[in-house]
Amino acid sequence: MGRMKEVPTSNRLRILHQRLNTLAPRFREQVNEEYRWKTRTIYEKMKAQSNANGPRSGQQFTNAQDERFFLIYKELIEEELRFIMAQTNKQ
C-alpha cells in the first residue's frame, strides 16, 4: 500500500486532516494496483457505474470486485486507526 509523505508537525489537528486528505488517493492507488488499472480507468469505471440507470448503461462489478473494494477500504481505515492509537499512546 502506498505511504503518505509525513510532514513533521506537532499539530495533531493538521496531522489528522492531512491523513484524511490522503485516503481517497491511497484507495485509488491500491485499487489501480490490484486490478492493474490506470488512473483514468478507475474514473471511467466509477462514472459508468454511477450512470448505470441513465443513457450510459454502465458495467456492473462482480460480487468479488465489490467485496475487494470494501476490503481495500477497510485495510486503509484500519491502518489509520493504528496510527491514531499510536499517536494517542504517545500522550
Please report how the helices 12-35 and 39-50 are oriented relative to each other, as an axis angle in degrees rounded to 10. Answer: 90
pLDDT at 11: 83
Long-range contact set of residues 30-39: C-beta below 8 Å, sequence gap at least 24: 30/1, 30/2, 30/72, 30/75, 30/76, 31/69, 31/72, 34/68, 34/72, 35/65
Whether 20 and 79 have beta carbons less than 8 Å apart is answered as: no
Question: Which residues, at least 6 apart from 91, have a Cβ–Cβ distance to it below 8 Å?
Answer: none
pLDDT mean for each 10 residues of the chain (91 residues):
58 88 95 95 82 58 94 96 84 61
pLDDT at 16: 87
pLDDT at 47: 84
Q: Is the pTM of this model over 0.85?
A: no
Domains of the chain, by residue range, sit at 12-89
